[in-house]
Chain A
Amino acid sequence: NAGVTQTPKFRVLKTGQSMTLLCAQDMNHEYMYWYRQDPGMGLRLIHYSVGEGTTAKGEVPDGYNVSRLKKQNFLLGLESAAPSQTSVYFCASSYAIGAKTAYEQYFGPGTRLTVT
């Protein structure tokens, strides 16, 4: 099993450009998440999904959109990139137990995005 994979690993964008980050998991997990990691700020949740076709806003959703058309994929889109979106982006997934209680989150290797 590959676990959680992210594409691409690195990307440089110019201000105003758009792009999509792809996250894929082969563990049949219900829940998927997108985080950004910035120095001294930990990981902050951008958007998340509790199942195919459903998404919800996290802590810092502005400037991002997401889609979960297939259970195994979770896409993060930047419609008009800004320098403030320079960050390392991590996707994660988790399984649900019993009454939809999720525990361990499995993280991908990250995408380093620079917006100039």
Chain B
Amino acid sequence: QQQVKQSPQSLIVQKGGISIINCAYENTAFDYFPWYQQFPGKGPALLIAIRPDVSEKKEGRFTISFNKSAKQFSLHIMDSQPGDSATYFCAARGKGGGTSYGKLTFGQGTILTVHP
């Protein structure tokens, strides 16, 4: 079964610091790697995503780094703010036709706490 492994389970950083969350996947049949952000009591929301044909994507303070050969990708949050405190999920979408389109495999989640 396809898996995505995420670490760490929880992360505490000081305001202004860099938060780094890592994910690794086992199957090469993924073609899209999104990160979702979830605040308490809310549903997850797409934060940033990357395709495997690029090694990095940056949107504001959020950057995805992608290493295709190592089957790893990570989320970097620069200048972390208390408002970034949330649970972050990495995910990977499987390739393939038929009824498999759009299916995401999620990592286990990382609870980020940014102290003021």
Contact = CB atoms under 8 A, between A and B. Distances in A.
**Size class of B's contact patch?**
20 to 34
Contact of B108 (A31, A41, A48): A41
A49 B33 CA distance: 21
Contacts, number: 64
Nearest to B34: A104
A43 interface: yes
Nearest to B104: A105
A71 to B, nearest CB: 15
Contact of A107 (B6, B43, B101): B43
B103 A104 contact: no
A50 B98 CA distance: 9
Interface string B49-86: 10000000000000000000000000000000000000
Contacts of B6: 42
Interface in A39-93: 40-45, 48, 50, 54, 56, 58-59, 90, 92
Interface in A20-51: 31, 33, 40-45, 48, 50
20 contacts: A42-B6, A43-B89, A43-B106, A45-B103, A45-B104, A50-B101, A50-B102, A59-B1, A90-B44, A94-B102, A96-B102, A100-B101, A101-B102, A103-B49, A104-B46, A105-B102, A106-B45, A107-B43, A110-B41, A110-B43
